[in-house]
Structure 1
Amino acid sequence: MTDTTAPTPGRPLFQLSGFRFRSWSTIWPILLAAILMQLMLWPAREAARWLFKHQAGWFHHQVWAFVGLAELFQLAAGLAAILIMRRLLPQADPHLRWPPQRSYAGLALLIGVGMALVMLLADYWPQLLSRTPPQGGYEMTPIGIPGWLAVMFAAGPNEEIIFRGVLVGMLTVLVPGRVRLERFEVPLSGVIVGLLFGAAHYQSFFNDPLYQAVAQQLYAFVFGLIYVWLMERSRSLLAPMIAHGAGDLLEVAAVMLLSVAWA
């Protein structure tokens, strides 16, 4: 958690504590986390893609419905992984509980607003400078607009269960250690999963401009650290879910508004 005490004279700006590199015993949990990440994300996404391709009528040809189905499959995979983790690694804490004391929900919402602004600027700065309608590929219809906003917010609970609940929970036990930068402190597992969280957005390098893909890697990593900080402070996944979901929802809402205003 964040250290709120006054800095000690001579205290280093950056510190890694409680960690010892033990070659294979350190590497294999990280490799396992990377494999589990793909097992929770890729099959669910591809199953939803297959259904959308072969039964597009079920979705009324709405892309947001495909995204929502993929999220539903991934949520199921994440919850199943937590059940398995509780059995095989009972000391791991997935933080899947209501906050026992302070929820940090208000702070999480403010952080989500800030994240939305960062993502909007990083993803669409050329369009913002030229006042060109940003092309997000969202269906601007009476059903498409609320559909996209709903699935964007749902990305928060879905991805936080997988990345912070399962992966950070597991690695906190298997790769112990703390990372501190000035007064900001998180578990080493949060840094590792932050890197994996950025890597999970690799497809942006194939689908988006290079500046946007690089920006997504950077802010996904930083946001991942903030999510795990919120999780530790509140001892629950609720706050990171709110920050994550609000950030995604508000960025898409801003893109929709700008695409209409500048059309």
Structure 2
Amino acid sequence: MKGMVRMTGIILHLILPLFTYTLTTTFLYLSVPIEPLLATGLSAALNIPVLLWIYFYDQKRRGYSPAESLKPGSGLIFIWLLGVSLCILGNSIVELMGLTRISKAYQEAANALYTPPIVIQLAASGLIIPAAEELIFRGMIFASLRDKFSFGLSAVVSAGLFGLYHGNLPQGVYAFLIGLTAAWLYERTKALLAPCMLHISANLFSLFITNLKLSDFLFQREHAVVTAAVIAAAVFVTAICFVRIYRKNNLKEDIV
């Protein structure tokens, strides 16, 4: 009976947050004449207080205080840099595989993301939406799966759902990479603010390179040498960040 109750709780954590978030977004988009990105941002802002309450309740049940649940841990600069380098690597993988050119759904999503005014892009896609998504996919889905299953399975399932949620292959591949890393960060720090900062960093840098047309410049054939150098630098920075975050949190555990 206890196992059945626990599995029911996991299923509810998998379904209810996404359903509520998606339903609110759809309602706003259909009932109010606003852009999809603004509707999603407003939905995220409306859902965050409820999601936080549920997350804090779950964390209290696990034995963590609200302060412990949100603290980012050590190595903040490396979390931000990791978000930037993963943004470069994720976009490089998607572009080099040619996924953006074969996905009509991606083109529609890109128009919805990058045509609104830059202030809306920064507030919604850069800050509010990542916070809501981390509450759902790491704070609820990954954490609930992790209560029952191994880290590897929990990370892959939560990252897979995160990728599927984006609704197209290019964004799905990119989101899966971010989701795996965010799950690892959450596992290392036990604090939601760490993957949230990673997600915000990646999104803000993605907005930066897209609005300045830097991604168009990098992935032209005549700039192949520059592209290779940027990707190599991103791989190096990613490796350094993983090592430093791992070591800093290991040291913290040793001290405690």
TM-score (norm 1): 0.63
**Amino acid across the alignment from 1:169:** A
Equivalent position of 1:98 in the other structure? 71
**Alpha-carbon distance in 1 for matches of 2:122, 2:51:** 22
2:44 is equivalent to residue 71 of structure 1? yes
Q: Which amino acid aligns with 1:118?
A: L
Of Structure 1 and Structure 2, the greater strand share is in 1
Counterpart check, 1:169 vs 2:146: no
Provide closer, same or farther for how the CA distance between residues 127 and 47 of structure 1 changes in structure 2, counting only shifts above 3 A.
Answer: closer
Listed as ranges, the matches of 1:173-188 within 5 Å are: 173=147, 175=148, 188=150
Shift of 1:255: 2.2
8 A Cα contact 1:149 1:253, kept in partner = no
Tell me what 2:178 maps to: 223
Partner of 1:3: none
Q: Following the alignment from structure 1 to structure 2, what is the Cα–Cα distance between the partners of residues 145 and 69? A: 16
Structure 2 match to 1:201: 163
C-alpha separation between the residues in 1 aligned to 2:113 and 2:184? Answer: 35
Q: Which residue in the other structure is 1:50 paired with?
A: 27
Match of 1:253 in 2: 208
Q: State the number of aligned residues.
A: 207
Q: Which has the larger radius of gyration?
A: 1
Counterpart CA distance in 2 for 1:108 and 1:260 is: 22
Q: Is the 8 A contact 1:149 1:252 kept in 2?
A: yes
Structure with greater helix percent: 2
1:9 match: none
What is the CA-CA distance between 1:151 and the residue it aligns to? 1.6
For 1:70, give the aligned amino acid: S
User: What amino acid maps onto 2:163 in structure 1?
Assistant: H
Q: Which residue of 2 aligns with 1:158?
A: 132
- Give the share of equivalent positions with the same residue, in percent: 21
Which deviations, in whole Å up to 9, do the C-alpha atoms of 1:82-138 show, x marking residues without a partner? 244256x34467852324xx5321111111011211232234444999xxxx95214
Counterpart residue identity of residue 165, structure 1:
G
Mapped contact 1:98–1:236 kept (Cα < 8 A): yes
Query: Would the aligned equivalents of 1:97 and 1:236 in 2 still touch at CA under 8 Å?
Result: yes
Of structures 1 and 2, the one with the larger relative CO (CA 8 A, separation 6+) is: 1
Note if contact 1:191-1:225 (Cα within 8 Å) is conserved in structure 2.
Answer: no
Please tell me whether the aligned partners of residues 190 and 225 of structure 1 are also in contact (alpha carbons under 8 angstroms): no
Unaligned runs of 5+ in 1: 1-23, 177-187
Cα pair 2:209 2:215 within 8 Å, conserved = no
Gapped regions of structure 2 (runs ≥ 5): 218-256
C-alpha deviation, 1:164, in angstroms: 2.4
Distance in 2 (CA, whole Å) between partners of 1:153 and 1:170 is: 26
Task: Find the aligned partners of 1:123 and 1:169 in 2 and give their Cα distance.
Answer: 28
